[in-house]
A and B are shown apart, each in its own frame.
Chain A
Amino acid sequence: MEKKIGCYICTGCGINEALNVKTLTATVAKEQKIPLVKNHAMLCSPEGVEMIRNDMTSEGVNTFLIAACSPRVHVETFRFGTPMIERVNLREFAVWGQPDAATDKDAKEDAQALGEDLLRFGCIRVKKMNNPEPFEDPGLSKTILVVGGGYSGMTAAKGAADAGYDVVLVEKAVELGGKVAKMHRLTPANPSLPGKDGLQETGAKALCLAVETHPRIKLYKNARVKQTVGAPGLFDVTIDQAGSDTVERIGSIVVATGYNLYDPNKLGHLGYGASPDVITAWDFEQMAREGRIVRKSDGLPAKRVAFVQCAGSRDKNHLEYCSSTCCTVSMKQALYVIDQYKNEASTCVIYQEIRTPGQLEDFYRKAQNEGVVFVKGDVKQVAANSGGGVKVQVADKLLRGDESMEVDLLVLATGMTPNIDTTDPNVSSNLNLSDEERAKTVLNLDYRQGASLPSLKWGFPDSHYICFPYETRRTGIYVAGPARRPMGAASSATDAMGAALKAIQAVESISRGAAVHPRAGDLSYPSFRKEGCTQCKRCTEECPFGAINEDDKGNPQFNPTRCRRCGTCMGACPQKIISFANYSVDMIGAMIKGCEVPPAEDEKPRILVLACENDAYPALDMAGINRQKLNPYIRVIPVRCLGSVNLVWIADAMSTGYDGVMLLGCRHGDDYQCHFVRGSALAEIRLSKVAETLSRLQLDSARVRLTEINIMDVDRLPGLLDDFVKEVTALGEQPYKPF
């Protein structure tokens, strides 16, 4: 269908007072040759929208350039059922962000020039944009694979199946249930509710039964995933069940492989091994389940029991993190002792800090009220008693001295380690696994970037705890429960439901050809002009999500459904052969060149700001909303991610005569905030190489800078821009300015 562009300039919200709309209109119509330009006093009003809609029928307008307010507002108002739309942010940038334009003639002139350039950018963008064709494949599946049949896995499987999706559940053991099925009781999930503060049945039996008999769940017990080939919607997963292989077509995957307990043999300093009466919390749980809380040494009743918290946790030499459940587990187990031995019971929890998040504080109170004694201190020495039981020396931090106690059992509350293979994404050596090592992985992914999920820290798979829980760096693969981060059964159940919903969202989006996250709904995806490829492998290496495989000759093999549409590959490609229908090196390059740069003698510098859409652009926008003065010499072009910035744009900017280029993006590094994980980090690495190019052009590398910005930096931002403009102008005349 032929593209018919309509440009609509709003004159409301002070735009008409601050800017010369007539000139703006002429810029679009005459200079940019978009004949259909209309003004409206309030474009967002029903009448304004009606005007646009009328043009759709009468004029056949199918591509929209809305020059009004920020693209972050009135998203619904200006939705015309097509992605062929561009918003020009006149109001926030050229009006509200230029508060002195009303009184100062020079400022008014600058604001007008800014408004015109913004419109030029918009015109070029709509002229260059094409309607993205969604990715389709007849083989797409909506079946959800759940790996792990423990509490989290069963909950996820049942949740997805109840919601109407076919589920394949793979469990390595002969029976479902995992660790929870082997527990005696659970800590209460909602101890603040009246009557709910006591210990609870695990409910594992009922859950196993529900999963076993669910018509939508296909169960593979005594089985494991041998290999995962393909991409979301199109995964071909080989399941090895007792030696025989089956291949299932899978849409998305929930990994719920649970946890392992920290090895107590490393805890000699806490007395493990000193006596059979020093045991782990897991062993104690098994005893309680059998209803016999006794000394291991001689089978006599264990009425005096001490629990050691943080056994190998929050400890530089062992696990550095908190497993978040051990404190409440010990309280629960102390209550077992009190329940069995009543008044004769004597229980003591030796702790560093008690951690009972949320409502579990009520459970802590309950344990205290039942008479459990809490001692803050370090275990110094543990020795077997000749008559059974152990003698424990404690450096008591509350009484400030060494104390000793005699107990029948000393229980070590050990922490959790994730039962999943992950690889450090920054180390490429671990990408080439041997067959033997591959066989040990949970999914054995056939991805160019490795068979395992990339790790975040401490072997847990990458998952942005706050903003994007469950997400891994592999699209369509979600992790739930303690495989993701340490958690107890109640949290695991919620977690599993969350991951199941993400898995459902993934298969549904993919069936429409849309991106999942964070560009949810985006239909565009990169296309590769293969003829130009030099097999440099930058795209296959740099894609943060492992979307691109390689064939034997090093040609990129693109998997659209693995893609998150960040454009990092587009930024990486030195041949500029990767592009999106509505986002390309050529498009942004043309926009950059489309700015009207005044000659040097005008002393009006121009600074190109390539701003990440996710955090930096909203921050700029909010500064405008707050009527903070935004430097009028900056020209902002939003980018999907700094990772998508191709270095050729820097050259384009310099040859056009911009005085400097500023890249605004999210924090990178270990505590990254980049929405595409590695995008801003890669931009930084690429920029470090730009100095050479600049010196070839006789330019100071200080003209290009990357600054990390987060959405809270609104107040800081205008000052940062001013400083950069000042520093760059101090470098002297930019030699490539037009005459």
Chain B
Amino acid sequence: MAYDLSFAKEVYKTSEVGYWIKMCMQCGVCAGSCPLGPHWEHSPRQLFQLVRAGKMEEVLKSDSMWMCTSCYNCIVRCPRGLPITHIVHGLARLAVEKGMADPKQPTRRFAVEVFWDNITSTGRVGEAGLTMKLYFIDGIGPGIQRGLEMKNQALGMLKTKRLNPIPFRSKIKGFAGFKAMLDKAFELEAKKESNA
């Protein structure tokens, strides 16, 4: 049954800045502003209306919130001042927490399986390592195939010094501080969750 408010109320309460969703007036400016809009399953506007319509599955299984590039176009333009980008990321996170996000969603895999480890282990992004790990995420066969497909681009980038070929990079200066910062962030987050 549509428009049952229990899911909406949950989102307002638990999802990051989710309470803003009720202020959306469905003007569609965000949908028209998003550079990736046409590729989304649901535009931000639709996501928000789905939340209010109580359509939990459709929202949390949507891959839309994984498509956001954080360009902030929508935030700048929303006449109601909704922090759309943050709401969208909040919904992605809620989807993970509720175990409803598709584990095969490429953005999600990139973020969780590749990017996070890469950046936290040294404090900087190692392009070569990152690319390799991403290519071989599904095993050797598909990895080699992807590598060959992208060969020309890779060589071009190397030539123009856009790619550091060394796969393993040293830690940044002051790595300990970086680590302490992350730990603190985890701690704060955990505290927030236990309060919620």
Which A residues form the contact surface with B (CB < 8 A)?
306, 346, 348, 354, 364-365, 368-369, 371, 373-376, 394, 396, 398-399, 403-406
Q: How large is the interface on B (under 10, 10 to 19, 20 to 34, 35 or more residues)?
A: 10 to 19
Q: Is A403 a contact of B2 with CB atoms below 8 Å?
A: yes
B46 contacts the other chain (CB 8 A): yes
Q: Of residues B2, B50, B52, B80, which shows the largest number of chain A Cβ atoms within 10 Å of its Cβ?
A: B2
With contacts A398-B46, A405-B3 known, is A376 near B53, CB below 8 A? Answer: no
With contacts A398-B46, A398-B49, A399-B53 known, is A374 near B3, CB below 8 A? Answer: no
Among all A-B residue pairs, the 4 with the closest Cβ atoms: A403-B2, A398-B49, A405-B3, A346-B5
Alpha-carbon gap, A398 to B22, bound state (A):
15
**Can you name the residue of chain A whose Cβ is closest to the Cβ of B45?**
A398
Which B residues form the contact surface with A (CB < 8 A)?
1-5, 8-9, 22-23, 25-26, 45-46, 49-50, 52-53, 55, 80
Q: Of residues A348, A354, A374, A399, which shows the largest number of chain B Cβ atoms within 10 Å of its Cβ?
A: A399
Alpha-carbon gap, A374 to B5, bound state (A):
12
Contacts of B23 on A, CB cut-off 8 Å? 365, 368-369
With contacts A346-B5, A406-B1 known, is A373 near B25, CB below 8 A? Answer: no
**Can you name the residue of chain A whose Cβ is closest to the Cβ of B28?**
A398
With contacts A346-B5, A348-B3, A373-B5 known, is A396 near B53, CB below 8 A? Answer: yes
Interface CB pairs A-B, < 8 A, 14: A346-B4, A364-B25, A368-B25, A369-B23, A373-B3, A373-B5, A373-B53, A374-B26, A375-B3, A394-B2, A398-B49, A403-B3, A403-B53, A404-B1
With contacts A399-B46, A403-B53 known, is A368 near B22, CB below 8 A? Answer: yes
Q: Is A346 a contact of B3 with CB atoms below 8 Å?
A: yes
**Can you name the residue of chain A whose Cβ is closest to the Cβ of B26?**
A398
**Closest Cβ–Cβ distance, residue B179 to chain A (whole Å):** 41
Q: Is A369 a contact of B22 with CB atoms below 8 Å?
A: yes
Q: Is B5 a contact of A404 with CB atoms below 8 Å?
A: no
Alpha-carbon gap, A368 to B26, bound state (A):
12
Number of A-B contacts (CB under 8 A): 49
**Can you name the residue of chain A whose Cβ is closest to the Cβ of B23?**
A368
Contacts of A364 on B, CB cut-off 8 Å? 25
Q: Is B25 a contact of A374 with CB atoms below 8 Å?
A: yes
Q: Is A373 a contact of B46 with CB atoms below 8 Å?
A: no
Contacts of A403 on B, CB cut-off 8 Å? 2-3, 53
- Other 10 A-B pairs with CB < 8 A, given A354-B25, A364-B25, A369-B22: A346-B3, A348-B3, A373-B8, A373-B22, A373-B53, A375-B53, A396-B53, A398-B26, A399-B55, A405-B2
**Can you name the residue of chain A whose Cβ is closest to the Cβ of B3?**
A405
Alpha-carbon gap, A249 to B45, bound state (A):
63
Contacts of B26 on A, CB cut-off 8 Å? 374, 376, 398
Contacts of A398 on B, CB cut-off 8 Å? 26, 45-46, 49
**Can you name the residue of chain A whose Cβ is closest to the Cβ of B22?**
A368
Alpha-carbon gap, A31 to B10, bound state (A):
94
Alpha-carbon gap, A368 to B48, bound state (A):
13
Alpha-carbon gap, A364 to B80, bound state (A):
11
Alpha-carbon gap, A376 to B46, bound state (A):
12
Q: Is B5 a contact of A371 with CB atoms below 8 Å?
A: yes
Alpha-carbon gap, A371 to B21, bound state (A):
10
Contact of A404 among B2, B9, B46, B49 (CB under 8 A): B2
Alpha-carbon gap, A700 to B1, bound state (A):
75
**Closest Cβ–Cβ distance, residue B67 to chain A (whole Å):** 19
Alpha-carbon gap, A554 to B4, bound state (A):
72
**Closest Cβ–Cβ distance, residue B87 to chain A (whole Å):** 15
Contact of B49 among A394, A399, A406 (CB under 8 A): A399
With contacts A403-B2, A404-B2 known, is A371 near B22, CB below 8 A? Answer: yes
**Closest Cβ–Cβ distance, residue B157 to chain A (whole Å):** 43
**Closest Cβ–Cβ distance, residue B47 to chain A (whole Å):** 11
**Closest Cβ–Cβ distance, residue A306 to chain B (whole Å):** 8
**Closest Cβ–Cβ distance, residue B173 to chain A (whole Å):** 47
Contacts of B46 on A, CB cut-off 8 Å? 398-399
**Can you name the residue of chain A whose Cβ is closest to the Cβ of B2?**
A403
Contacts of B3 on A, CB cut-off 8 Å? 306, 346, 348, 373, 375, 403, 405
